[in-house]
């Protein structure tokens, strides 16, 4: 089989011939200061869905933003963990400029109302799933290892995405191209998974660099935002920076279609919104 040409897939999306689905994870588990119900070995994947009617414009906006990013500070990608912490390409960049990047991306999500779907697994939910299956859960379905929380979280996320697409008015006419940030598999790898034939073009999920498939950076933002607002939502004392970031990210909470929003008391200007748990059968799970 010939190696897939991602540019052909990008061209297909920009013509409006398919959905674009872009997936990333929330990074390393066990973050200091996490709420008590956050298992230190939890793994979360986040998917951003861009409908065919919007994807050409969204990709154009991303391309322009990346050009401005390069011209203004010399960075070539939006990596929001690095932007927040002021590290690597964002070292010595003024905090207000860095917060401006969050404001820009938050506006993209709010204007285009991009749906976000998430899935989390940890050892407790894995054990719960095995108990519910009465011993019928397999050890693996390649490429997914069912003893690995990250693998199961990604598989269940893909199943959620298939279900979401099946409920759209265009199901059966328009499928989705699925791109996952490299790491689970190397850049350039595409895997056909037959159970997704009806929803994903060629039944494929593809793995790519976010520097080549720009909208993966949307998933990077959605993954960072989910992680950050959950952490900040669990804090009793918040710094002025915490409050400012929650103000910026609060509107994006409504893009997450399978998580309950939680009200976080702020100041006299009104409440902010954060997000509940994302485990399959966890506390406050969707």
Residues of the chain with pLDDT under 70: 1-4, 28-37, 264-286
pTM: 0.90
Instruction: Give the DSSP letter string of 239-272.
Output: -HHHHHHHHHHGGGGGGBTTS-EEEEEEETTEEE
Measured CA to CA, the distance from residue 121 to residue 127 in angstroms comes to: 10
89-144 tens-digit pLDDT: 999 999 999 999 999 999 999 999 999 999 988 888 888 888 888 877 777 888 89
- Locate all alpha helices (DSSP H) within 36-148, ordered by sequence: 52-73, 80-85, 95-112, 123-132
Please give the pLDDT value at position 282.
41
173-191 tens-digit pLDDT: 999 999 999 999 999 999 9
Please give the pLDDT value at position 281.
45
C-alpha distances in angstroms, 279 versus 23, 42, 221? 17, 9, 20
Closest by CA to 13, choosing from 56, 47, 63, 49, is 56
Q: List domains and CATH numbers for the chain.
A: 6-32+39-275 (3.30.420)
The number of beta carbons lying within 10 Å of the beta carbon of residue 139 is 7
The number of beta carbons lying within 10 Å of the beta carbon of residue 13 is 24
CA angle 186, 223, 249 (to 5 degrees): 155
């Amino acid at each position: 089989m010939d190696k897939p040409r991602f540019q052909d897939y990008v061209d297909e999306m920009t013509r409006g011939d398919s959905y674009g689905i872009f997936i990333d994870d929330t990074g390393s588990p066990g973050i200091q200061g996490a709420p008590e119900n956050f298992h230190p070995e939890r793994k979360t994947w986040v998917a951003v869905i861009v409908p065919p009617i919007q994807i050409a414009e969204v990709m154009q906006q991303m391309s322009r933003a990346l050009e401005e990013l390069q011209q203004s500070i010399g960075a070539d990608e939006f990596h929001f963990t690095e932007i927040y912490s002021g590290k690597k390409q964002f070292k010595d960049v003024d905090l207000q400029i860095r917060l401006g990047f969050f404001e820009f991306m938050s506006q993209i999500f709010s204007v285009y109302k991009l749906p976000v779907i998430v899935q989390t697994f940890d050892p407790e939910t894995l054990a719960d799933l095995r108990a519910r299956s009465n011993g019928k859960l397999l050890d693996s379905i390649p490429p997914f290892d069912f003893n690995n929380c990250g693998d199961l979280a990604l598989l269940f996320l893909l199943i959620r995405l298939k279900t979401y697409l099946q409920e759209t008015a265009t199901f059966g006419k328009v499928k989705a191209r699925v791109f996952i940030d490299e790491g689970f598999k190397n850049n350039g790898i595409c895997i056909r998974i037959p159970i997704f034939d009806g929803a994903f073009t060629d039944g494929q999920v593809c793995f790519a660099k976010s520097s080549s498939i720009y909208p993966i950076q949307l998933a990077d933002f959605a993954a960072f935002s989910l992680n950050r607002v959950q952490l900040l939502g669990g804090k009793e004392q918040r710094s002025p920076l915490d409050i400012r970031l929650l103000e910026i990210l609060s509107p994006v909470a409504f893009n997450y279609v399978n998580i309950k929003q939680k009200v976080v008391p702020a100041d006299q200007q009104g409440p902010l919104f954060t997000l509940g748990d994302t485990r399959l059968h966890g506390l406050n799970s969707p």
